[in-house]
Chain A
């Protein structure tokens, strides 16, 4: 009851923020725009264009999700409205879960709009199945939710909005912008330490490649489209990347909750 009320309040409040919509719109228009450009100018099949578009979305949507989510708790903490909410019956957990649901709904709306616009463009120009579109939108959506959860977790665990922003930017840099570099560094280090031979790809190294939510989502999409829903190789499967995504939804929020539970709301 409390959770739903808070989620609805948050949706009403956040969806009235013009800045939020402006950022979302710019990102979505650029994603859809670049995809359209690709679809019109190249002679790639629809599946390939979707894949490139997914990669683009995997770079752009995480920043939208993090910006949208990182203030979920800290902004209320700084304005003092969290004190009002916590003076009422809802517990800190209710507030956190309500906020998570509210921001998730907002992110899903943004992703659905962008996914449908992009998908519509691709399907109209190049043709292709709706199954392709469903997988495209579905995993893009799941990735968005994972980044919202990371953002809300960061927000719950931070004592100020500026700190939450810094941690969110850091998370984006590590998970999205710099992951190629980090992966190479890990690979190089592992070879140096004799943990693996050069050119080989042990399972744990593959897992490193699958670690960030955007990588996991892309793998899930590729593997779905590749028709390996029930393959024996976990890295060619859909379930492993989906499991990684679910972990990204649960773990940061849980850590954030534990920190918020013990925080001084002064």
Chain B
């Protein structure tokens, strides 16, 4: 395939006074796995709703597989697979019936049982009404429906919600397998590890704007967050450490010395300098987490959630 899988051009959507999506430009190349990140209310879902023609833009345009998302939606939707956000199933129809429905509507001749097996639903599950399904099973069924007709592009809105870790891993395997087949995958998530594990590139949305697009590795480098080196020392430093190239935020107290090393070689320089002045009893290195990266773009403080205190007697 040639040409971009998704092309978004100056896309904006206002709901009254609220600007949900603010002139977003984004190109996702064919064959990519693209992770779409952002906190709740950042405009991820509205962007996907615009791509699916559920909502019409205030201005700008978008196309997928070279087809306009609104004008060519029927042709387009027969070539893409979608797990929309807040999707619903037909409680009274069986799992197999759902896949058959998708196949008929897409004019595809997939074997429903084969697809259901692929997403981990047994024959027995397939015969049950979807109303009896757990959240995880519903998610699997929705994915099976999306895979109908060998789509060229998969759009998955929060596909891991409701899946246990095992299910999330199986989903990643399916995403990779589809990608190997040449399928472009565009998926949104607020769970960063999920995105990091499979995505080639990520886009981060915040307050309706696309604030960053790049590979996670490059984003991390761009951010210059570095690694924090924590040294346990047996006595307090008597002299100031002074300036060390590429080491910043040096913090000294009675038992530890901390510094943020922007490049790898700076770590050794930092340790050497400290050892000139005192005895180092332990070395710990903390890589900047994806949460830090995310927070730096979205202005969200994630440290609170990490050091959450447990309420005695358990959480109600």
Contacts and interface: CB of A to CB of B under 8 A. Distances in A.
B31 to A, nearest CB: 22
Contact of A88 (B55, B91, B102): B102
A89 B104 contact: no
A264 interface: yes
B92 A17 contact: yes
A89 B49 contact: no
Given A265-B55, A266-B55, A88 B87 contact: no
Contact of B84 (A2, A12, A16, A87): A87
Nearest to A80: B88
A262 to B, nearest CB: 8
A29 B166 CA distance: 53
Given A81-B87, A83-B88, A265-B55, A88 B105 contact: yes
B86 A12 contact: no
A1 B107 CA distance: 9
Given A86-B54, A88-B102, A266 B89 contact: no
A81 B77 contact: no
Contact of B93 (A9, A87, A88): A9
A181 interface: no
Interface in A55-96: 76, 78-91
Nearest to A17: B92
Interface string B46-64: 1001001111100000000
A13 interface: yes
Given A76-B88, A80-B86, A83-B86, A91 B73 contact: yes
Interface string B89-132: 11111000100011011110000000000000000000000000
A84 B87 contact: yes
Interface in A193-225: none
Nearest to B13: A264
A266 B44 CA distance: 12
A61 to B, nearest CB: 24
User: 6 smallest A-B Cβ distances: which pairs?
Assistant: A80-B88, A79-B88, A87-B82, A265-B54, A16-B92, A81-B88
Interface in A81-137: 81-91
B142 interface: yes
B77 to A, nearest CB: 5
Contacts of B53: 86
Contacts of B104: 5
B74 interface: yes
A261 to B, nearest CB: 10
B78 interface: yes
A76 B74 CA distance: 20
Interface residues of A, number: 28
B101 A5 contact: yes
Interface of A: 1-2, 5-6, 9, 12-13, 16-17, 76, 78-91, 262, 264-266
Contacts of B107: 1, 89
Contact of B105 (A2, A78, A81): A2
Contact of A90 (B84, B92, B105): B105
Given A81-B89, A84-B142, A89 B105 contact: yes
A19 B237 CA distance: 79
A88 B100 CA distance: 12
B145 interface: yes
Output the residue of A9, A83, A91 with the most chain B CB within 10 A.
A83
Contacts of B85: 83
Nearest to B78: A89
B97 A12 contact: yes
Contacts of A80: 84, 86-88
Contacts of B92: 13, 16-17
A84 B87 CA distance: 6
A84 B138 CA distance: 12
A91 B87 CA distance: 17
Contacts of B102: 88
A13 B54 contact: no
Given A5-B104, A13-B93, A84-B87, A91 B74 contact: yes
Contacts of B93: 9, 12-13, 16
A87 B106 contact: no
Contact of B89 (A6, A84, A91): A84
A80 B106 CA distance: 19
Contacts of A2: 105
A87 B52 contact: yes
Nearest to A261: B56
A88 B77 contact: yes
Nearest to A75: B88
A204 to B, nearest CB: 41
B163 to A, nearest CB: 17
A1 B91 CA distance: 24
Contacts of A1: 107
A85 B73 CA distance: 13
A83 B84 contact: yes
A257 to B, nearest CB: 16
A80 B86 CA distance: 6
A86 B52 contact: yes
Interface string B71-84: 00110011000101
Contacts of A91: 73-74
Contact of A81 (B52, B55, B90): B90
